[in-house]
C-alpha cells in the first residue's frame, strides 16, 4: 500500500504548552485559592515554570513511567503538573479528594504512586492516611514556604515553591512514542473499587482537538474551568486551551454560586463547563441577588443529566446552554448537544427538545446501541439499547484490573458504557438511563432520567431522583424522591397533578417522598445505590 509522504512527528502534550508559549505567550492564566491571594501569569510564564518543575521532578528521582499523584484543586500549580509530569514521560495521576478515605488509599496504592503533590488543605487527610500508603516516598505541598506546617508525621514533606526556586528555566524535553502513558484517572464508581483509565499522549492531544471542535472554544474566549482538574482530565480544557491560546480561569475550591458568579464577572468569563449541582447553585444566587451576567455567553452541562428548567433559566439570561455526554473512559467527551443548522430554525420549544439530547458524537467517537443479545438496534430514535463506543481516546482496558475488563467490552472491542440510549436517524443520541438505573415495570422500561426532569419542572422542586421499588405485580415501580427549594412548598398530590400529562400515565410514580437532601457521588452524580438501599422496603400505596 502506498504510504503518504508526510513527516512523522509524535503527538506529545509538551508540544501543546510550547505552542501556547510561543504563539499566545501573553495570554493570561488566573487562579484562585482557598487562602492565598489570587494569582495571574501568562502562558509564557507557565512554560518557564513547567521547565523548572521538570528539573525538580528529576531531582526527586521521578523517572519515565513513574506514577505521581495529585490531590489538588484547579490552580496554576496543578496545571504545571499536567504538563511537566507527562513531559518527562512520567504519569500525572489525578486523585479525587472527595472520595472516601478508603478509596483514596486504594487508588494511591493500586497506582503505586511514588510521590504525591497536594494542596495544603489536604495535608490533615493525608497525614491520617499516611501509615496505609505502601509505596509513597514523599509529599510536596502545593504552596509557598510561608504556608508550610511547622511539623508533620510525613517524613519527606517538601514545599513546591521552594523546590522550584533554584531550578534552571529551560529543560531539554525528550521525544518518545506518542502512545506513552500520559495521565491516570480512576472512575468514581458506586460499586466495587474505582477503576483506572490510563491515557496516552496521543489520546490526550486528539481528545483536546475534539473538545475544541465540539465545544466551539476559540482564542478570544475566557474559559472558566469549573470542572475539577482531578475529574476526568478536566474535560480536556488544560490541553485544549493551550492549542488555541485561550485565557484560563482556575477557581480553586470555591464553587458556591456567589463565588463562581463574582469570578465570572471579575475575569470577564465567556464560556464554562461544569456539573449540574454547580450550575444550580449559580442560578440560585442569581435568583436571590437579582444579579445578571455581563460577559458569559455559553455553558456546558455534563456529569449527569441537565434539567430542562436549567436550560430554560440560562437561556432567559441570554446564555447558550447545552449538555455534553462522556465518561472517564472516554477522556471524557463523547458527544455534544449543539443544534444543527436546521434545528436552529425550529420553534423554541422544539429547540429545547433537541438540546435535551446528549447530542451527536464529536469526530473520533463512533456509537452503536445493542440489545441484550448483542445485536445492533436501529438508529430510528425509538429503539432502546446499551450504548457502545470506540475511538482513539477511548480506553481499551482498565489499568491493572482484569476483573473490571471482564464484560466491559463487546467481542469486537467496543467499550460498553452501561448507558441505555436511543440514537436518531440524524445521529443524535439520547441517554435514556443507566442500565442499572432503568426501571423495568411489567416488561417495559421507564426512564428515571426523564421522570426526574419532569419533576424538576415544578417551580418548587430543587432536585429529584427516581428509583425502582419492588412491586408484587409489576416487578418494580418508580418512587420519586424530592428535595424542595428553600422556602418553597409542594405536597404529594400537587406534584402528582403536575406530572400527569408530562409523562405517560404508566410512568407516573407510585409514591413521592420528600427529603432534606439527596446523596451524591464524589463527582456530583446522584448516588442511587444509597437511595435504593434506603427505600428498598418502602410500601407503595398502589401495592398496599
DSSP classification of residue 300 = E
Query: How far, in Å, are 217, 278, 359 from residue 336 at the CA level?
Result: 13, 19, 5
CA distances (Å), origin 346, targets 113, 339, 340:
52, 10, 10
Q: What is the largest CA-CA distance in the chain?
A: 75
Q: Strand pairing partners for 72?
A: none
Nine-digit cell string for 45: 510564564
Kindly provide the b/e burial profile for residues 344-365, where b requires at least 16 CB atoms within 10 angstroms of the residue's own CB. Answer: eeeeeeebeebbbbbbbbbebb
CA distances from 339 to 326, 355, 426, 528 (A): 18, 7, 11, 31
Q: Is 445 a catalytic residue?
A: yes
Cα 135 to Cα 114: distance, rounded to the nearest angstrom:
6
Q: Which three cell numbers stand for residue 427?
A: 445521529
Active-site choice (13, 50, 94, 187): 187
Classify 529 as helix, strand or coil.
helix
Catalytic residue among 445, 485, 502, 529: 445
Q: How far apart are CA 530 and CA 136, in angstroms?
A: 33
Instruction: Give the separation between CA 80 and CA 93, rounded to whole angstroms.
Output: 13
Whether the link from the prior residue into 147 is cis, omega within 30° of 0, is no
Question: Looking at 165, 268, 440, 444, which residue is catalytic?
Answer: 440
Asked if 233 and 332 count as a contact pair (C-beta separation under 8 A), the reply is yes
CA distance 457 to 309: 6
How many residues comprise the chain?
A: 544
What is the rounded distance in angstroms from the CA atom of residue 91 to the CA atom of residue 41?
25
Q: How far, in Å, CA of 463 to CA of 140, rounded?
A: 39
Residues 6+ apart with CB under 8 A from 542: 471, 477, 510, 511
Question: Which of 329, 386, 452, 463 is flagged as catalytic?
Answer: 329
Contact predicate 233/207, CB 8 Å: yes
Whether 59 and 51 have beta carbons less than 8 Å apart is answered as no
Say how far apart CA 37 and CA 145 lie, in whole Å: 15
Active site (annotated) includes residue 187: yes
Residue 474 is among the residues annotated as catalytic for this protein: no
Distance CA 277, CA 391 (A): 29
**Going by C-beta distance under 8 Å and a sequence separation of 6 or more, which residues neighbour residue 465?**
448, 452, 480, 481, 518, 526, 528, 531
Look up 115 and say whether it is catalytic: no
DSSP characters over 462-477? EEEEEEEEEETTTEEE
Cell numbers placing 428: 443524535
Q: Show Cβ contacts of residue 87 under 8 Å, excluding neighbours closer than 6 positions.
A: 12, 13, 14, 17, 50, 54, 171, 173
Which positions are annotated as active-site residues?
187, 329, 440, 445
Amino acid at each position: 500500500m502506498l504510504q503518504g509522504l508526510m513527516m512523522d512527528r509524535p503527538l506529545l502534550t509538551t508540544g501543546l504548552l510550547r505552542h501556547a508559549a510561543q504563539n499566545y505567550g501573553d495570554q493570561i492564566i488566573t487562579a484562585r485559592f482557598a487562602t492565598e491571594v489570587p494569582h495571574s501569569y501568562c502562558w509564557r510564564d507557565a512554560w518557564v515554570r513547567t521547565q523548572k518543575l521538570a528539573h525538580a521532578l528529576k531531582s526527586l528521582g521521578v523517572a519515565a513511567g513513574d506514577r505521581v499523584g495529585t490531590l489538588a484543586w484547579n490552580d496554576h500549580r496543578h496545571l504545571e503538573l499536567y504538563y511537566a509530569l507527562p513531559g518527562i514521560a512520567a504519569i500525572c495521576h489525578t486523585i479525587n479528594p472527595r472520595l472516601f478515605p478508603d478509596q483514596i488509599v486504594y487508588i494511591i496504592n493500586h497506582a503505586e504512586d511514588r510521590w504525591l503533590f497536594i494542596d495544603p488543605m489536604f495535608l490533615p487527610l493525608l497525614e491520617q492516611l499516611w501509615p496505609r500508603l505502601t509505596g509513597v516516598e514523599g509529599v510536596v505541598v502545593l504552596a509557598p514556604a510561608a504556608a508550610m506546617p511547622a511539623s508533620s508525621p510525613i517524613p519527606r514533606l517538601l514545599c513546591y515553591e521552594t523546590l522550584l526556586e533554584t531550578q534552571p528555566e529551560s529543560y531539554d524535553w525528550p521525544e518518545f512514542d506518542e502512545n506513552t502513558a500520559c495521565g491516570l484517572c480512576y472512575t468514581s464508581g458506586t460499586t466495587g473499587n474505582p477503576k483506572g483509565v490510563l491515557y496516552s499522549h496521543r489520546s490526550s492531544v486528539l481528545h483536546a482537538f475534539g473538545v475544541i471542535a465540539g465545544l466551539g472554544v476559540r482564542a478570544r474566549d475566557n474559559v472558566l474551568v469549573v470542572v475539577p482538574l482531578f475529574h476526568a482530565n478536566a474535560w480536556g480544557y488544560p490541553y485544549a486551551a493551550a492549542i488555541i491560546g485561550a485565557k484560563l480561569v482556575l477557581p480553586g475550591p470555591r464553587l458556591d454560586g456567589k463565588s463562581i458568579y463574582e469570578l465570572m464577572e471579575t475575569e470577564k468569563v465567556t464560556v464554562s463547563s461544569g456539573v449540574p449541582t454547580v450550575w444550580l447553585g449559580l442560578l440560585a444566587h442569581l435568583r436571590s441577588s437579582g444579579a445578571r451576567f455581563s460577559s458569559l455567553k455559553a455553558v456546558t452541562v455534563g456529569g449527569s443529566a441537565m434539567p430542562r428548567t436549567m436550560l430554560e433559566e440560562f437561556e432567559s439570561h441570554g446564555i447558550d446552554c447545552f449538555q455534553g455526554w462522556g465518561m472517564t473512559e472516554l477522556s471524557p467527551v463523547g458527544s455534544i448537544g449543539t443544534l444543527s443548522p436546521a434545528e436552529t430554525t425550529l420553534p423554541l420549544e422544539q429547540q429545547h427538545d433537541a438540546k435535551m439530547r446528549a447530542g451527536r458524537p464529536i469526530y473520533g467517537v463512533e456509537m452503536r446501541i445493542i440489545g441484550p443479545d448483542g445485536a445492533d438496534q436501529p438508529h430510528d430514535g425509538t429503539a432502546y439499547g446499551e450504548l457502545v463506543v470506540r475511538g482513539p481516546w477511548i480506553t481499551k482496558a482498565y489499568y491493572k484490573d482484569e476483573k473490571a475488563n471482564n464484560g466491559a467490552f463487546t467481542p469486537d472491542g467496543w467499550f460498553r458504557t452501561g448507558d441505555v440510549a436511543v440514537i436518531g436517524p440524524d445521529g443524535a443520541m439520547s441517554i435514556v438511563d443507566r442500565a442499572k438505573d432503568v426501571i423495568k415495570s411489567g416488561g417495559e422500561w421507564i426512564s428515571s432520567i426523564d421522570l426526574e426532569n419532569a419533576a424538576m419542572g415544578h417551580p418548587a422542586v430543587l432536585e429529584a431522583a427516581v428509583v425502582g421499588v419492588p412491586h408484587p405485580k409489576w416487578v418494580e415501580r418508580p418512587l420519586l424522591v424530592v428535595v424542595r427549594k428553600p422556602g418553597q412548598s409542594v405536597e404529594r398530590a400537587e406534584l402528582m397533578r403536575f406530572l400527569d400529562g408530562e409523562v405517560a400515565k404508566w410512568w407516573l410514580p407510585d409514591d413521592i417522598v420528600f427529603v432534606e437532601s439527596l446523596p451524591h457521588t464524589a463527582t456530583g452524580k446522584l448516588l442511587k445505590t444509597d437511595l435504593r438501599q434506603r427505600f428498598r422496603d418502602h410500601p407503595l400505596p398502589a401495592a398496599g
